[in-house]
Amino acid sequence: MLTGLLAMTVTLMIWSGFFISLRASSQSDLTIADIALIRFVPAALLFGWLCRHKVRHIFQTPKRYLALICWGAGLPYLLLAGYGLHYVPVADGASLIPGILPLLVSGIAVVCFGEPLSPMRRAGLVFIALGVVCFVAKSLAGGQPGMLIGYAILLLASFSWAWFTIAMRVSGLSATEGAAVIAISGCGLLLTGFLSQTMTFNLLSVDSQEVMYHFLVQGVGVGIVSSLCYTLAISRLGAEMSAALGAFTPVLAALMAIPLFSEPLTGQTMIAMALIVIGALTASEVMPIPINKSKIVKKAMR
Domain residue ranges of the chain, discontinuous segments joined by +: 2-299
Across 116-133, average pLDDT: 81
Cα–Cα distances in Å, from 125 out to 98, 112, 132, 256, 286? 13, 17, 11, 27, 14
Across 17-24, average pLDDT: 80
286 class by beta-carbon count within 10 Å (0-12 exposed, 13-18 middle, 19+ buried): exposed
Confidence of residue 285 (pLDDT cuts 50, 70, 90): low
Percent of the chain exceeding pLDDT 90 equals 24
Beta strands in the chain (DSSP E): none
pLDDT of residue 294: 42
| Helix intervals (H) in 100-144 | 101-113, 119-141
Measured N-to-C along each axis, helices 227-237 and 145-171 cross at an angle, to the nearest 10 degrees, of: 60
pLDDT of residue 289: 37
Percent of the chain exceeding pLDDT 70 equals 90
Does pLDDT of 143 surpass 80? no
Contacts of 88 (CB under 8 A, 6+ apart): 96, 147, 150, 151, 154
pTM of the full predicted structure?
0.77
Largest CA distance in the chain: 56
pLDDT of residue 132: 79
